[in-house]
Structure 1
Amino acid sequence: MSIAPVRRAAHAAVGVLAWACAQPALGQAADEAAANSAAAFDEGVTEAPSEHPAPVATGGTSAAPRLDPQAARIDALEAELHELREMIADLKGSTAANIAAVRADQRANTVTIANGRPTIASGDGQFTAAFRGVFQLDAAHYDQDAPRSLATDFRRGSFGDAVENERARDLNDGANFRRARLGVEGRAFGDWEYNFLYEFGGSGVEEAGRISAAWVQYNGLGRWKIRAGAFSPPGGLEEAVSTNGSLFAERAAASELVRGIASGDGRTAAMVWANGERWTASLAWTGNLIGAQTFDEQSAFVGRLTYVPARGPDWLVHLGINSTVVVEPPASGPDVENRVATNIRLRERPELRVDGTRLVDTGNIDAEGLSTVGLEFGAQRKNLYVQAEWFGIDVQRRASALSDPNFSGWYVQTGWTITGEPRRYQTNNGTFDAPRGEKPFSWKDRSPGVWELGLRYSVLDLNHLEGAPGTIPLASTVRGGEQEIFTAGLNWYPNANVRFQAAYQYVTVDRLSPGGTAFGAAPATPPAGAQVGQDLSIWSFRTQYAF
């Protein structure tokens, strides 16, 4: 018998194997290939010409052709095809199971802790919730002259505040939690962000609890974002940096005072803002602080523009301008025929809050509006940086022939990181944040953490036509006082969560008494023109943990 049919069958079987490996519908194809191979073999056996004539039967017997080897080969090929079909079926099943597992993992929530901050995220990244917290415990010693009676000791605090008049002569040595915050922030449906932050700290006295931030933001407009709720719109270079990473425990007095006019934590507001690699822009409408109710709510606008005109691999220059415009001050009572006073009051503490006494104060000014202009400058080269701001404040009196008072303030500060790490410039809000070390502090590994020195000189002038000492003020005079502060500080960052700040401040307050009953009935109010300011030193220390 010829072996050509067997060869043809073998070739057909090999072709079927190759074809089956490339086709998804293997089961049906394998059956068809096996059937065709068997048919081809049968046809070859019955129709192929024989090389030798069939033997003639003799003696009642005949010799039949032996087909066992060929049949065995066909059976082996069919077995291999069947095994291959089962293998591919198993592969399809396992692949489908793996895909289902991957999809299940994508849908599963994840919990991570980065730099001590717990974060929950959905598998598709559309929803996140990060828990935040910070406590800042401040301790301070106020080094000032010993107090005497009100009749002979003329040092004073806010106008008309008997408690502050007492405290100005003996500021409180002690400690308080400046900030104690807990909250959650995150993302929802991809394009939305939210933030809820509750505050239990305070200035001099801890509070029962209040809303520090509660806002929602839409990010689906490209660079531009829209935010509404309660928050502090950026109103300056120092105002925009987080207090967790600021160079000193408190902002410079001029920056803090302007911030308090129409911004600050817990301010109801709506804002549009955007940023690029070198610029930021924001504009917000603001109302009252949460918890402050007036007869008519204050209405104001806060705007800021920043730009980085020059930068290199390890240096940059920052420029900025900001403005606050109060278009409607809060009313002090029912607005009957537009005769009720709409007061604006500017006052500020030294750059520490262990004692809450304000040493400079304009008192109430009946005004129809207020506007500020702020100029910003910042520069950084490696681990050295400097920043400065100047603010001009104009108050427009309401229905008055008196001159409109103008006030001003400025500061300059510099920081040098001893261990070499630079402050981090934040492009999203145009400000300088705290340095970060590569390795946390470790006594065993001799890793020091990050050490930083800081210096600042600030001036806040709330005087208008103040006149000379010993004189009676003019009708337009505002004797709010001038405060100058020199600060030297040392910061230690053992790791990304913990910070310690030690600082020394020398405070000079030059302020004249307006006389009358400005501070209260005699002897609370010193004679007109008497010096009610003072010089003092403050030693302070802050312990902070933030995540």
Structure 2
Amino acid sequence: MSQAQHQAGAQPAPDGIQWEDGKPSLRLGAFTLEPLVRLDADAGSFFGQDRTGGYRSGVNLRRGRLGLEAGLGEDFTARFIWEFGGSSPNDYNNIYEAQLAYTGLGWGTIRIGAFQPQHLPEYAGSSFDLPFMERAAISNIAASLASGSTRLAAGLEARGGFGEGGARWNASAYLTGGVASTPHDHRQRGVAGRAVALLPEWSGLQLQVGLNGAAQFHPGTSPGPESIRLRDYPELRIDSRRFLDSGTIRAGSAWAAGPELAGRMGPLYVEALWQRVEVDAATGPARRYEGWYAEAAFPLLGKPRERSDETGIWKRPKPDGGMGGLELAARYSVADLRDGDGGARQDIWTIGLTWFPTDKLRFGIQYENGRTKLADGNRDFQAVGLRAAFNL
């Protein structure tokens, strides 16, 4: 919850500039304003590649965001964020977020603009909370149809408690358009949503089950008129090459859906997702793809992950003074975009170590061992990635 939102239900602070928890804010009556800053600097090295023309090592300003969040009375917030970083060294400078939210329902939020819908577990919260540098490939592929970052959308995010304290279920639904940062993509039309429920705790086990889905009813004009292209990076974004690629498919519609599972047993956190993706091709039969991931995270220092009532995800471990929070995580992910003699399948094992010295800083290192299966043979690779990040 932002400071502007938190203060909406608290005793009003005096007008003027305030400084709380290392973050400044301006208050003028019922109006509040605070800065938003996010910087992610990445470096990575690929090795163990047995074929020429493979992934290239490098550095990247993965995220460089500057923005403002405003509290407009007790029930409205607005955010505007500009992105100076990018997914690859050639992708810089665009709108990241421009949204208006109504929070006066108490049990939910109505949101409209360009933002990140709560559609998948890895997209329901901030990327600063992820156990790894990047989301699993299947999450990005499924989100590319009707959600993901910078999506033009209008929707409702709800939560409730089944008569108990705290929110034990979360549900969201959105009507979506194109991606604000992609030129000429505004003709796209779709829907996306997610529903999760936290089961009663049993012998110290917190278990959440859910379903999510997205459908694109009208493709936009990117990568071409009435076409869809599914692809992603090798779960590092320091090179623009993407061998995991379905190619451009002339299509009228597409959808992705599947179950998700998350929970905590003591300090150990686990999460898993499966997705079926289907494209209604203009010629020939429908194209069917799938993917999944399973991951676990364990705190070596600090507190374990805690569930957020707002989003239904387990947020990053909170630093517990001293050396902060240190988390060890492992993931196996699969994204299969093969279709006949075309497409590709990507399998990656990842192990990562992330240090949160404070709530606003994170430093991470991860190792990947992956394989991309192509029609002309496999491409094996290994990689080491580094990230230094700041979030205000």
Please state if 1:540 is matched with 2:381. no
CA distance in 1, matches of 2:185, 2:49: 42
Equivalent residue runs for 1:213-362 within 5 Å: 213-276=97-160, 277-294=167-184, 297-311=187-201, 315-331=205-221, 342-362=226-246
CA distance in 1, matches of 2:312, 2:383: 31
After superposition, the Cα gap between the structure-2 partners of 1:460 and 1:146, relative to the gap in structure 1 and judged at 3 Å, is closer
Deviations 1:448-473 (A, max 9, x none): 22111000000000012x3xxxxxx4
Q: Deviations over 1:309-355 (max 9, x none)?
A: 1237964111111110111112579xxxxxx9511110111000011
- Which letter does structure 2 place at the counterpart of 1:535? D
| Corresponding residue number in structure 1 for 2:81 | 197
Distance 1:342 1:316 in 2: 44
Partner of residue 298, structure 2: 416
Tell me how far apart the structure 2 counterparts of residues 238 and 332 of structure 1 sit (CA, whole Å): 24
The structural deviation recorded for 1:185 is 1.1
Name the CA distance, whole Å, in 1 between partners of 2:330 and 2:267.
14
Q: 1: distance between equivalents of 2:292 and 2:244?
A: 15
State the partner residue of 1:484: 347
Task: Verify the 8 A CA contact 1:455 1:487 in the aligned structure 2.
Answer: yes
Instruction: Tell me the secondary structure at the aligned position of residue 176 of structure 1.
Output: strand
Q: Name the CA distance, whole Å, in 1 between partners of 2:176 and 2:257.
A: 17
CA distance in 2, matches of 1:183, 1:302: 26
Residues 186/455 of structure 1: CA separation in 2 closer, same or farther (3 Å cut): same
Q: CA deviation at 1:295?
A: 8.1
**CA gap 1:146/1:305 in 2 versus in 1, 3 angstroms:** closer
- Measure, in 2, the Cα distance between the counterparts of 1:263 and 1:507: 27
State the number of aligned residues: 376
1:53 is matched with which residue?
none
Aligned ranges for residues 376-387 of structure 1 at < 5 Å? 376-387=260-271
Aligned partner letter, 1:487 = T
For 1:343 and 1:137, how far apart are their aligned partners in 2?
33
* TM-score normalised by the chain length of structure 1: 0.65
Letter paired with 2:68 = V
Q: Could you tell me how far apart the structure 2 residues matched to 1:391 and 1:143 are?
A: 30
Distance in 1 separating the partners of 2:316 and 2:48: 32
Q: What residue in structure 2 maps to residue 128 of structure 1?
A: 32
Q: 1:112 aligns with which of 10, 14, 18?
A: 18
Change (3 A) 1:271 1:207: same
1:363 to 244, 247, 260: 247
Q: Name the counterpart of 1:453.
A: 328
Tell whether 2:261 aligns with 1:406: no
The 5 Å alignment of 1:11-50 reads none
Q: Could you state the TM-score of these two structures normalised by the residue count of structure 2? A: 0.90
Secondary structure of residue in 2 paired with 1:220: coil
Q: 2:276 aligns with which of 356, 379, 392?
A: 392
SS in 2 for 1:256: helix
Distance 1:455 1:106, change over 3 A: closer
Q: For residues 98-147 of structure 1, what are the alpha-carbon distances to aligned partners after superposition, in whole Å with 9 as ceiling and x for unaligned?
A: xxxxxxx9684143333322222345xx3221211111111111103376
Q: 2 CA distance for matches of 1:313 and 1:202?
A: 44
The structure 2 residue matched to 1:494, chosen from 337, 353, 357, is 357
User: In the TM superposition, what whole-angstrom CA distance separates every residue of 1:189-244 from its partner, at most 9, and x where no partner exists?
Assistant: 21111111111111221644211110001123342321111011111111213111
> Structure 1 residues 312 and 216 mapped into 2: Cα distance closer, same or farther (>3 Å)?
farther
Match 2:373 to one of 493, 497, 510: 510
- The C-alpha deviation readout for 1:239-269, integer Å capped at 9, x for no partner, is 2131111100000110111112221222111
AA at the equivalent of 1:195:
R
In 2, Cα distance between the equivalents of 1:139 and 1:392?
A: 32
CA contact (8 A) 2:178 2:186 kept: no
Structure 2 residue 60 is the aligned partner of structure 1 residue 176: yes
**Partner of 1:462 in structure 2?**
337
Deviation at 1:496, TM superposition (A): 1.1
**Maintained 8 Å contact 2:96/2:114:** yes
Deviating beyond 6 angstroms after TM superposition, the runs of 4 or more aligned structure 1 residues are none
Could you tell me whether the CA contact under 8 Å between 1:484 and 1:507 is conserved in 2?
yes
User: Unaligned stretches of 5+ in structure 1?
Assistant: 1-104, 149-168, 334-339, 440-446, 467-472, 474-478, 513-529
The structure-2 alpha-carbon separation of the partners of 1:509 and 1:170, relative to structure 1 and needing over 3 Å to count, comes to closer
Which residue is equivalent to 1:433? 315
2:330, 2:352 within 8 Å by CA — same for their partners in 1?
yes
The one-letter code matched in structure 1 to 2:369 is Y
Rounded to whole Å, the distance in 2 between the matches of 1:307 and 1:503 is 31
Any unmatched runs of 5+ in structure 2? 1-10, 161-166
CA shift in 2, pair 1:279/1:250, >3 Å: same
Partner of 1:77: none
Residue 164 of structure 2 aligns with which residue? none
Residue type of the alignment partner of 1:506: N
Residues 331 and 250 (structure 1), Cα distance of their counterparts in 2 relative to 1, 3 Å cut: closer
Q: Distance in 2 between matches of 1:544 and 1:341?
A: 38
